[in-house]
Every structure is written in C-alpha cells, then in structure tokens.
Amino acid sequence: MKNLDILIVEGNIEQDSKMFIEAAGAKVSENLKNLFLKFEPKANIEIIHPGNDKESSAALDKINSYDGIAFTGGAMRLNDMSEEIKKHIKFAKECLESGKKILAICWGLQVCSVAAGGKVNKGKNGAHMGIAKSVKINEAGLRHPLYESKKNEFNTPAFNFDEVCEIPENSIVLASNSVNDVMGLNINYKNSVVWGMQYHSDYEYKQTINLTNLRKEKLLNNNYFKNDDDFSKHISVIKEEDKKLSFENKTFEIRNWLKFIKD
C-alpha cells in the first residue's frame, strides 16, 4: 500500500501561532503532523495556511492527490468574520466540493460546519478552558467509525468559546456534553465526509494547561473565573486529570481517521 498523502490546514494566523508555540512547543499544525507521524511514520504531510493565497491555490491545484485533509484548531472567533476568516471558510468550501475525507478539530469543525451551511455562535453554556468533561458518545456515535474502541464517556483536552449551534444538512451529532451539544459531528457534503471534534485528541493536558495559563489575564477579565484562587483550582483539576489520561483512548479518533483514509 502506498504511503498516505495528507494535507494539514493551519487554523492560526502567525501572531496567534506564537502563543501556541510557547504553550505546546510547536504550531497547531506541526503538533498534529507529529502525532500523525507517530502512527503513520511514512506519511507525506503538507501544511498550508489558508490565509496565504499562493499556498491555498497550490494545494487546490493538486487536491485530488491527497488521501485526506485535516483542519486544525485555532484562536480566531468565527463570527468576527475578518478577511482572514473568510479565506478559511472559502478554502474549506473548496475542499468540501472536491469530495475529500476530512478531519476537523475544534476551530476546524466550526469552519467546516459553516462552509457546509451550518452556523456557529458563542457557546450558550460557557466554554472549555483546557479540558472538556463527561463527553458522551450517543447511539449514532457508538455506531460511527470515528469512535471505534473509544470509551463511551470521556474527559479530554479542549479549548473553545464558540460552538456549532446549527448543524449543516446531512449531518449527524455523534457526541455531546453539558457545555456543547455538538462535541462530535459527521458532515456529509456532496461526496465529502467530515469527521469533526469540538475538542483536542491532538493535544496533551500539559499543553492546554500552558495555554490556559497564558490566557489567564484575559479569562479573568472576561469573568470566566471569579478570582486567582478559582483559576488555580481549575488548573489543579486539569493536572489531576492528566495523571489519569490514557494516550491510547485519547487518540482513537486520530487513528480511526487515518484508518478511514487508507480505505
């Protein structure tokens, strides 16, 4: 069997990537690439930034050569609808039109959902800041290959303030929790299939703890925490969860998608 050819679509602008590099040691796209290579060491992986017209155009010119396309997380807020964000949506729409197998993580899920006709708004029940608790796979999710071998209920690294509030046509919600109704989503768009997650199978808690600490002032100013003590207790909860984290269970979605694009 030939080596996999995968396109990773970076979800951050350069300025935001600096924070992710400080928190995780690499850009979101590079972090995901490293995880892919852990499971598929011979895969050919290309990274592009959809805000870069030259990179986007070159990738679209050879779109049929990719076995799969992965959209990463990112720090932008979709309803800001800047020119940069419009380019991310446009590129996602082009990928959906091409009939590809797509993995969409966090920001990537939101972008692909909007590109397919869905809507995204600020999370009505709050935000995930470093961790998502008690994500439950529903009956449709239990039958879906994204969650093959996954525990039916799990905690996971996560960071998001927004959520998919209206799913696209021909979509199925696969998992939910008390914060976001759409934690796992399958989108069928023409001949394309999107497996989406509103959390990070690609990140470790140590990385999301660093990211949460870097955003501390902003989180406090926006009243996500009452005070420093409340913030510290939250970090302690994530640290305790980190001790119990199973790398195998955390990454089943990644491995299942890689298996999917091999078929």
Q: What is the pLDDT of residues 36-56, one digit of tens each?
A: 999 999 999 999 999 999 999
Instruction: Give, rounded to a whole angstrom, the gap between the first and last alpha carbons of the chain.
Output: 10
Q: What is the pLDDT of residues 187-201, one digit of tens each?
A: 999 999 999 999 999
**Contact 22/60 with Cβ under 8 angstroms?**
no
Q: Using a CB cutoff of 8 Å and minimum separation of 24, what contacts does 121-125 make?
A: 121/79, 121/162, 121/163, 121/165, 122/79, 122/161, 122/162, 122/163, 123/160, 123/161, 123/162, 123/163, 123/179, 123/180, 124/163, 124/165, 125/178, 125/179, 125/180
d(CA 220, CA 229): 11
Q: What is the pLDDT of residues 210-262, one digit of tens each?
A: 999 999 999 999 999 999 999 999 999 999 999 999 999 999 999 999 999 99
d(CA 138, CA 117): 23
d(CA 161, CA 222): 12
Residue 1: predicted pLDDT = 61
Where do we find the tokens 């729409």? Answer: 93
DSSP H or E run through 68: strand 68-71
Sequence-ordered strand ranges (E) for 10-67: 44-48
Domain ranges for the chain: 5-262
Residue 85: predicted pLDDT = 98
CATH fold for the domain made of 5-262: Rossmann fold (3.40.50)
Give the pLDDT mean for 97-126: 97
User: What's CA 184's distance to the chain center, in Å?
Assistant: 10
Sequence-ordered strand ranges (E) for 90-226: 101-105, 119-122, 128-129, 132-137, 153-156, 159-160, 162-166, 171-176, 184-189, 192-197
Q: How confident is the model at residue 2 (pLDDT cuts 50, 70, 90)?
A: confident
